[in-house]
Amino acid sequence: MNSKFILLLKPAIVFTITVAVTGFFVVLPRPRVPVYGRPDAMARSFIMWLHGLGDSGPANEHIKNLFNAPEFKTTKWSFPSAPNTPVTCNNGAAMPSWFDIQEIPVTASSPKDESGVLKAVQNVHTMIDKVVTAGTNPKDIFVCGFSQGGALTLASVLLYPRTLGGGAVFSGWVPFNDSILEQLAPESKMTPILWSHGMADTTVLFEAGQAGPPFLERAGMSCEFKAYPGLGHSITQEELRHLESWIKTRLQSSS
């Protein structure tokens, strides 16, 4: 479940004043009001990466170095770390975890810690709100995650009350039941979803990943699902190259 084991990763007021003085006018600069899509916006795009169980944000920061397209030169990245909390599948021992996981392997029918997921979602939404307030178009905000971070990614984008640029789930699962679908805003249902999963995954079984598209279909959504034969519980450069292309085609600020 730890993305440290991933194939490529070895080795989260000023206002205008006019003053008349002896016939001259002094005009202070206008405020920098956030205007989505404006060329000089403070942050053109934002990508958040959510790590897997037992991992940390800093351990994944080098992922951003793989995004070499010109569109990402002004992208702001965030790699938050989960708090240390007791985890049932770890015999109750504390480790970095976004929410509790009852069992490994995770299957399509594994027990779900919905209250823990919703608490973690609130923290992700707080981070997104700060970026939006700073002037980034919500449609230039992308949330991505591996394993447990992938499950939190799905929950976060579906429950965010606005349309985001996209959510990318790698080796994740659906972390709540269908009853959550009643809480989805119409705007959130327009957020694109990319789902990638290894067919040889023995930690989060492929069946757990396969349950994603039908769940989203019941929500009135669709997603791009990519299956990788022979891939276990890890993420490859091939997947990340596709992620770069997938995000690039959806950036509003680059148009």
pLDDT digits (tens, 9 = 90+) for 61-104: 999 999 999 999 999 999 999 999 999 999 999 999 999 999 99
pLDDT, one tens digit per residue, over 205-236 is 999 999 999 999 999 998 999 999 999 999 99
Q: Is the pLDDT of residue 28 over 90?
A: no
Total residue count of the chain as it appears in this document:
255
The whole-angstrom separation of Cα 123 and Cα 115 is 13
Q: Give the integer Cα–Cα distance in Å for 96 and 88.
A: 13
- Please answer whether residues 206 and 176 qualify as being in contact, where contact means their C-beta atoms are separated by less than 8 angstroms: no
Lowest mean pLDDT among 6-10, 109-113, 128-132: 6-10
Mean pLDDT of 112-116: 97
Q: What is the pLDDT of residues 238-248, one digit of tens each?
A: 999 999 999 99
The residue annotated as part of the active site, out of 97, 147, 171, 196, is 147
Closest CA to 165 of 137, 125, 133: 137
Return the pLDDT at 222. Answer: 87
* Listed residue (133, 177, 137) closest to 155, CA to CA: 177
Tens of pLDDT, residue by residue over 159-198, are 999 999 999 999 999 999 999 999 999 999 999 999 999 9
- Among the listed residues 45, 113, 233, 253, the single catalytic one is 233
| Rounded mean pLDDT, 22-30 | 34
Residue 147 designated active-site: yes
Sign of CA dihedral 87, 115, 77, 83: negative
Segment 50-65 mean pLDDT: 98
Domain boundaries, the chain: 3-12+43-248
Which segment of 32-36, 71-75, 124-128, 169-173 scores lowest on mean pLDDT?
32-36
Contact 152, 112 (CB under 8 A): no
Catalytic-residue membership of 233 = yes
Structural tokens at position 234: 């890890």
Of the listed ranges 37-46, 82-91, 126-135, the least confidently predicted one is: 37-46
Task: Exactly one of 55, 201, 234, 253 is catalytic; name it.
Answer: 201
The CATH architecture annotation of domain 3-12+43-248 reads 3-Layer(aba) Sandwich (3.40)
Decide: 121 and 152 in contact? Cβ < 8 Å. yes
Distances (CA, A) of 203 to 90, 108, 199, 216: 13, 12, 11, 22
Q: What is the pTM (predicted TM-score) of this model?
A: 0.84
Active site residue 125: no
Six-digit token string for 102: 């009852």
Query: How far apart are alpha carbons 133 and 62 in whole angstroms?
Result: 27
